[in-house]
Amino acid sequence: MIRVGLAGIGFMGWIHYLAYKKVSGIELVAVSEPNEKRLSGDWRDIKGNFGPPGEMVDLSKIARYTDYRDMLADKNVDVIDCCLPPSMHSQAAIAASQAGKHVLCEKPMALTTAECDDMVQAANAAGKQLFIGHVLAFFPEYAHVIELIRSGKYGKLLGGTFKRVISDPAWMTDFWDEKRCGGPLIDLHVHDAHLIRLLFGMPSSLISVGRLRGDIVEYCNTMFHFSDPSLVVSSVMGVVNQQGRPFTHGFEIHLEKATMHYEFAGFQDKGELMPLKILTEDGQVIRPEVGGEDAAEPFAREITEVVKSIEASQPSATLSGDLARDAIVLCHKQTESVRTGGLVRI
Ligand SMILES: NC(=O)c1ccc[n+]([C@@H]2O[C@H](COP(=O)([O-])OP(=O)(O)OC[C@H]3O[C@@H](n4cnc5c(N)ncnc54)[C@H](O)[C@@H]3O)[C@@H](O)[C@H]2O)c1
């Protein structure tokens, strides 16, 4: 049994807690959180932009610490699950690796590329695994298309466009702070940057056109260039100020023999879905049943991948630190391109 210590009982800590209950071979044995109410098991004030609200949680059999640093010495803990704010990820992950723990760290991996490099190096030096919680690849529609693309059934990838746009997240006080959260590219688009890196490899250059809010890119469209010039890959991401549509994401992916389309938008009154469709070269519209499920399910699949990788002593191709580091590089390059108004080499 793999034993986990959870650092940070906020929105993500709650969702991870729910996910651990669904996965065998791994169990939560410790938590750390400075908020005394939450450390006592009263998680009712936790609310995020998806999933159920927090509940009363029985922590009587779980070791409790007010600071994640105290949890690192707990010999019962094999994995530190870092659900801390983004600015704390690198210091926590490095300290956990140095304490001889595997690390599962929420996205974004860290705020700077240098921090990401240090995290990878610390895990390698300790001979421990580092997983970055890029859960998008485990959402049913995304998981389905990744599998189909890898199967080769519809031929070579030609490109795609990836969308992630939100209204101003007024509840996230640090969102626009470069040193604490990083803004829309680092906190939001990083999901698609990771997916683009996973599907197409590392771009050789990119060009972004966008709007800045202060020094932070508020909204931008990006074209990614690859050594294979036939790949046409783009993204649209950012914040628009109208509060009527708090969240939308989706994609259109082109292959030689099919187009894959999906979009979900959360409007203020209700969510609307354009379910996943595979449009084939002979005119079929295939609507795969990918299943409705509760919010913790994709996180449970992500954690299942962590269990498999630790048991096999093999790094995860999807959750590796190297891939997540590249996603952070792509976010910073887009900022550079918007600020300079030109093509940026990678
Ligand atoms: N994968 C996703 O879909 C997704 C969604 C939302 C957030 N996230 C990411 O998850 C991470 C956490 O976000 P969140 O919304 O849960 O934040 P949050 O602010 O709700 O939770 C962070 C928690 O860490 C605690 N904390 C602070 N210092 C600590 C310390 N020294 N020791 C232990 N705990 C400490 C805070 O008190 C807080 O409860 C962020 O990186 C965020 O980007 C991912």
pLDDT, tens digit (0-9, with 9 covering 90-100), for 189-202: 999 999 999 999 99
Instruction: Give the torsion sign (CA, 305, 311, 315, 320).
Output: positive
Q: How many of the other CB atoms lie within 10 Å of CB of 68?
A: 26
Distance between Cα 122 and ligand 1 center (Å): 22
Residue linked to tokens 């976010």: 331
Q: How far is the CA of 165 from the centre of ligand 1 (A)?
A: 21
Question: Which one, of 29, 31, 38, 33, lies nearest residue 6 by Cα?
Answer: 31
Closest Cα to atom 39 of ligand 1: 10
**pLDDT, tens digit (0-9, with 9 covering 90-100), for 250-309:** 999 999 999 999 999 999 999 999 999 999 999 999 999 998 779 999 999 999 999 999
Using CB distances shorter than 6 Å, the residues near ligand 1 are 7-13, 32-35, 67-68, 83-86, 106-107, 133, 135, 187
9 CA from centroid of ligand 1 (Å):
7
Ligand 1 site-directed mutation target among 33, 132, 173, 191, most atoms within 8 Å of CB: 33
Q: 256: CA distance to ligand 1 center in Å?
A: 41
- Atom 3 (ligand 1): residue with closest C-alpha? 135
DSSP state letter for 29: E
Ligand 1 nearest atom to the CA of residue 107, by list position: 41
* Fold adopted by 137-298+327-345: Dihydrodipicolinate Reductase; domain 2 (3.30.360)
Mutate to test the pocket of ligand 1, among 6, 9, 11, 82 (most ligand atoms within 8 A of CB): 11
The per-residue DSSP string of 227-271 comes to: SSTT-EEEEEEEEES-TT--EEEEEEEEETTEEEEEEEEE-SS-E
3-state helix, strand, coil in the chain (%, to 5): 35, 30, 35
Name the pairing type of β-strands 26-32 and 63-65: parallel
Q: Which CATH class is domain 2-133?
A: alpha beta
Hey, what are 207's tokens? 């060009």
Domain boundaries for CATH 3.40.50.720 within the chain: 2-133
Pairing state of beta strands 285-286 and 130-133? unpaired
- Portions of the chain given CATH number 3.30.360.10: 137-298+327-345
The pLDDT score that the predictor gives to residue 47 is 85
Ligand 1 atom nearest to CA at 35 = 37
- Buried-state track 313-342, b at ≥16 Cβ within 10 A, e below 16: eebbebbbbebbbbbbbbbbbbbebbeeee
Model-wide pTM > 0.85: yes
> Which residue ranges in the chain fall short of pLDDT 70?
none
Name the nearest CA neighbour of 88 among 26, 13, 20.
13
Q: Which two tokens mark 25?
A: 């071979």
Looking at residue 193, what is its pLDDT? 99
Quote the tokens at residue 342.
């030109």
How many Å lie between the centroid of ligand 1 and the Cα of residue 19?
16
Ligand 1 atom having least distance to the Cα of 187: 43
User: Encoding tokens for residue 331?
Assistant: 């976010």
